[in-house]
Amino acid sequence: MRDSARSPTHTRVRSPTMTYPSSARQPEPRPTWSRGAESSLDGPEASAASSAVNGSNVVPITAAHTARKGAARHADTSLPAPETAAKGKRSTPTAGKVRADALRMLGCVRIATVRQLAQVITEAGSDGRSYVRRAMVELAELALAETNGKDGKHQIWNLTQAGQKALADGNELPPRPKAGTGAKAVRAGFGPHAVAVTDTILAYTDTALSRRREYLTDWQVEVNHAIKETGLSFNTDAVLAVPTRTSEVRLFELDNGTMFQARLAKEVWDYERYAGHRVWEGTRGTIGGTYPFWQRHRYTRSKTFPRLHVVLAGKAEHLLDNRLQALTADVQGITIAVWVNTLPRLQRGEPWYEIGVDDPHRRRARYPEAVGR
């Protein structure tokens, strides 16, 4: 991420200092741990680097970022806002409309509870869950949706293959031919992680994008990133296809408190390895040259590698803070843009922390060039 002049809207913030363990993973100086404010898509893009770290292991926290402005979006497949009756009173949702909205939402996030479905489909508070609960029972009777497990006391719902086909036949969502239903993951006991991913999607869409229903259909979950030549392969928990001026997507990785710290750090470094891989291109008989794999074969309309958002969940907040500090130390010197937040803070609309800065020049020096013909 390039440095630029500090925007007039940014002010330097001093907060209680935080210390965290040193790390010998990378020889480069510790990257800035900045506080990023990501709100609506209409704000300007800006970045400010903090001052150099002194001899201690205390890293200052500074106000750093606003969201990048996105392109205008169509909302043909969006979930519409709940209808409002005359004189400001809420109208009762029709059963067919609730069923259709539930199918569309499950087609996007794959797995959700009645609470999460009602959060998007209705605005009737807890009363809205009764409409959604009845709709899900009706969808189950039609063999379009099913439940295969619980998150605590709450049933976890997913589409059946027939439900996915109904969405495809109705041309309700962009084609996603390889998307699974998520049923096997829930039966295997991974439902809580998937529910946390859905909570992350809803929280980010609600706070950063402001209009949850319009952008919900721009999400995909469990998106594979792979480079066959190197054997690198990993699944990104969620990808948001809302373009900025420099990138067409945003990447989201969630840790629900089940991974060892070293495993979490490795998953973040895998994104740098993916970004650093280059391929040789050139017409026959010419010298040719090397280009980033991701820019040639994956995100062809992006100028910079997409920012990675890491969300920490599944534990008490003070333990999540400890994991955030440890992850900051483990990824120091990384050459991709990495922002991190805890799920409770994200749901409260609090800013992100920047723990990695995009640096394509240093990334190119770190990874070997592709061998030419």
Contacts of residue 240, Cβ cutoff 8 Å, sequence gap at least 6 = 204, 215, 218, 219, 249, 250, 252
Strands across the sheet with 111-113, in order?
111-113, 154-159, 145-151
Place of tokens 């999460």: 116
pLDDT of residue 177: 63
Distances (CA, A) of 337 to 24, 133, 269, 307, 326: 20, 40, 11, 5, 17
Query: Looking at residue 17, what DSSP letter applies?
Result: -
Question: If we measure between CA atoms, which residue out of 160, 144, 157 comes closest to residue 186?
Answer: 157
d(CA 314, CA 91): 36
pLDDT of residue 52: 29
pLDDT of residue 167: 87
d(CA 173, CA 161): 15
Query: Do 44 and 70 touch, CB atoms closer than 8 A?
Result: no
Question: If we measure between CA atoms, which residue out of 294, 192, 291, 211 comes closest to residue 247?
Answer: 294
Consecutive sets of 10 residues in the chain, 373 residues long: mean pLDDT of each? 37 36 37 49 36 30 32 42 46 78 91 92 69 93 94 92 88 72 87 94 86 78 93 95 92 95 96 94 68 93 96 96 96 97 95 96 88 56
Phi, psi dihedrals of residue 352, rounded to the nearest 5°:
-90, 160
Query: Do 64 and 35 touch, CB atoms closer than 8 A?
Result: yes
pLDDT of residue 36: 58
Distances (CA, A) of 326 to 18, 114, 134, 178, 267: 11, 35, 45, 35, 14
Query: Do 157 and 114 touch, CB atoms closer than 8 A?
Result: yes
For the chain, state the CA radius of gyration.
22
Query: Do 99 and 137 touch, CB atoms closer than 8 A?
Result: no
- Dihedral sign of CA atoms 347, 351, 356, 360 in order: positive
DSSP letters of 236-257? EEEEE----SS-S-EEEEEE-S
pLDDT of residue 234: 95
- Dihedral sign of CA atoms 77, 82, 85, 91 in order: positive
Query: Do 290 and 231 touch, CB atoms closer than 8 A?
Result: no
End-to-end CA distance of the chain: 32
Question: If we measure between CA atoms, which residue out of 110, 95, 116 comes closest to residue 161?
Answer: 110
pTM: 0.76
- 284 token code pair: 């026959």
Phi, psi dihedrals of residue 94, rounded to the nearest 5°:
-75, 150
pLDDT of residue 7: 36
The one-letter amino acid at 121? I
Longest dimension (CA), the chain: 74
